[in-house]
Amino acid sequence: MKYCSTCGQPVEQRIPEGDNRYRYVCVSCDTIHYQNPRIIAGTVPVWDGRILLCRRAIEPRYGYWTLPAGFMENAETTIEAAARETREEALAEVSIDGLYSIIDVPHINQVHMFYRATLLDGSFGAGEESLESRLFAADEIPWDEISFPTVKKTLKLFLNEMETGNYGVHITDIRPRITKEEPHSTSSRNTS
């Protein structure tokens, strides 16, 4: 952020009085511009024991399979956002059966929320952001072509519980792996 959306003057990063984090603050009108995580809401839609997935027609992860989900809009609830995204991406109407997973992704400032859902009439299609949509049995899930770690984690949890019909609410996070670098030996380093 370079300029204040209130007055158009430059902003600087500093810790405002009474706060404990760096924020963008206008040098002219002192407006504090808070930046908060974005919420992604979606569903795990089921029909006749199979899960509805959509093949992405947009980046990132074009061509990969995903659960219908997307950014929550202002003036809607997370349930409304999840149902809307399912309608937009899979042309499917669902009844929401309950919250299923909340996955924090702090390194990209997002929170992913998935709801268990049932297709109302079994009909679905491909919305503007999908190349296609399809119902998958548990043994047909294309694991190597799943779009995002949050989708993969939610699907694995869901499939484990689908066998028993006892669903929980899962709250977890996904963080990037930090690998310890191997020490470099000068004798094995290629310097040419």
Residue 182 dihedral angles phi and psi, to the nearest 5°:
-75, 135
Q: Are residues 26 and 75 in the same domain?
A: no
Average pLDDT of the residues of the chain? 93
Residue 180 counted as domain residue: no
Report how many domains make up the chain. 2
Cα 81 from Cα 40, distance rounded (Å):
8
Spatial contact of 47 and 118, defined as CB atoms under 8 Å apart:
yes
The pTM of this model reads 0.86
Q: Are residues 49 and 5 in the same domain?
A: no
Residue 190 counted as domain residue: no
- Asked whether residue 17 carries a pLDDT value surpassing 50, the answer given is yes
Q: Are residues 9 and 68 in the same domain?
A: no
Residue-wise pLDDT for 121-137, tens only, equals 999 999 999 999 999 99
Q: Are residues 28 and 68 in the same domain?
A: no
Q: Are residues 27 and 98 in the same domain?
A: no
Residue 64 counted as domain residue: yes
Q: From the CA atom positions of the chain, what is the Rg in Å?
A: 21
Q: Are residues 79 and 4 in the same domain?
A: no
Six-digit token string for 172 = 């977890």
- Asked whether residue 185 carries a pLDDT value surpassing 50, the answer given is no
Residue-wise pLDDT for 50-84, tens only, equals 999 999 999 999 999 999 999 999 999 999 999 99
Domain boundaries, position 8: 1-35
Q: Are residues 75 and 5 in the same domain?
A: no
Cα 27 from Cα 96, distance rounded (Å):
46
Cα 129 from Cα 191, distance rounded (Å):
49
- Domain with residue 19: its CATH number is 2.20.70.10
